[in-house]
Amino acid sequence: MSSIREVARAAGVSVATVSRALSMPEKVASKSLAKVHAAVAKLDYKPNMLARNFRSARSYAVVVLVPDIANPFYGLFIRALEDRAQQKGYAVLLGDTRGTAEREQEYIRRVETRLADGIIQLRPSSEKTKNNISADIPCVYACGCEYNTGPAIHIDNRGAARTMVDYLLSLGHRRIGVISGLKDNPHTIDRLEGYKESLRNAGIEFSKELIAEGDFTMWSGLNAAFQFCNMKQRPTAIFCMNDEMAIGAMQTLKAQGIRIPEDMSVTGFDDIAYAKYCDPSLTTISQPAEEMGKMAMDMLLRIIEGESLSQTDCVLPTEFIIRKSTAPVKLI
């Protein structure tokens, strides 16, 4: 409740001296410093950061736009983002957009009205699904794609998908189904490209009927898997574009009496915590979510503070993790 004026009066110095004693103590005589500290302690003074931020025209807060906070993959990201922001004295304003443009807009407005200094966007942006974040707002894509326009951190989605499909091919699989994310999603596009490249290199023709569209939720994976169960000539492996859909798909396959991996191999993407503990444990691609989050936050804060970036696009390596959900194709 007490203001800097009261502290100044109690310490017998001016307000400016108190201000300096607190923010640049080396510029103040030790005698005054002691008086100020005594007064601060006596009055239990807590500086009003709202006033400080107003004065400095900065909020020291960053909006994190996330499609769904309850998605465990984003949880890892956010933990890393928050950690780094906290270290650097910034707060994280959580913006769960639920995938809607309106909610995204409301949070963008928070930046325009100075309630936040910048944005971390966890949804990748493409031509079709644009963000309408104007160019003068500091913004970093923490989970971007190949053709992001602004500063971005991302993995080589195409290459990782190729690695996965190459591996399935090396196990003898020739008919490989895909459970994709939404068609427009940049990650879907990149990963599908990798799948196609891998098949092309192996001389296998791409077949549209082997692609089932999901939306990255467990439930959509569960549904999409039915498409493959009901086929006359079933695929012998399914490449799922994230772990949640793979877990959902495995549920369906097991319910249909299809054994994994003996009858059908299943692979995921992301390596969420649960991928290790599901049954069978999931062969997948591990994304360095923690490091991506930290780098994205560092990048954003550097932009906010007006420093120049050495590079605006950063690709991090993934790890290919073989577990128990994949096996060589069964000889008939």
Among 27-35, 130-138, 186-194, 279-287, the segment contacting DNA (CB under 7 A)? 27-35
59 near DNA (CB under 7 A) = no
15 near a copy of itself (CB under 8 A) = no
3-state secondary structure of 198: helix
What residue 83 binds from DNA, a copy of itself, none (CB within 5 to 8 A, per partner kind)?
Answer: a copy of itself
Does residue 314 contact residue 298 with C-beta atoms inside 8 Å?
Answer: no
**Shortest Cβ distance from residue 175 to a copy of itself (Å)?**
25
CA 280, 283, 284, 286 torsion-angle sign = positive
Smallest Cα–Cα separation from 129: which of 89, 86, 185?
A: 185
Among 4-12, 58-66, 193-201, 243-251, the segment contacting DNA (CB under 7 A)? 4-12
Binding mask 48-87 for a copy of itself (x = CB under 8 A): xxxx-xx--x-x-x--x---xxxxx--xx-xx--xx--x-
CA atoms within 13 A on the CB side of 21: 23
Q: Using CB under 8 A, which of 15, 43, 115, 316 touches a copy of itself?
A: 115
17 near DNA (CB under 7 A) = yes
Which of 103/196 has CB closer to a copy of itself? 103
Tokens found for residue 260? 């994994």
320 near a copy of itself (CB under 8 A) = no
DSSP string, 287-327: --HHHHHHHHHHHHHHHHTTPPPS-SEEEE--EEE--SS--
3-state secondary structure of 172: coil
Task: Report, in angstroms and rounded to the nearest whole number, the Rg of the chain calculated over CA atoms.
Answer: 26
Instruction: Measure Cα distances from 232 to 176, 227, 258, 328 in Å.
Output: 14, 11, 14, 21
- What DSSP state is assigned to residue 118? E
Q: Using CB under 8 A, which of 37, 110, 196, 323 touches a copy of itself?
A: 110
CA 60 to chain centre: 21
What residue 32 binds from a copy of itself, DNA, none (CB within 5 to 8 A, per partner kind)?
Answer: DNA
What residue 271 binds from DNA, a copy of itself, none (CB within 5 to 8 A, per partner kind)?
Answer: none
Residues 6 or more apart whose CB falls under 8 angstroms from that of 224 comprise 179, 212, 213, 214, 245, 248, 249
Among 18-26, 146-154, 166-174, 250-258, the segment contacting a copy of itself (CB under 8 A)? 250-258
Binding residues for DNA, rule: CB under 7 A, are: 3-5, 12-17, 19-20, 22-23, 27-29, 31-32, 47-48, 51-52, 54-57
Binding residues for a copy of itself, rule: CB under 8 A, are: 46-51, 53-54, 57, 59, 61, 64, 68-72, 75-76, 78-79, 82-83, 86, 91-96, 103, 106, 109-110, 112-115, 218, 222, 247-248, 250-251, 254, 273-274, 277-279
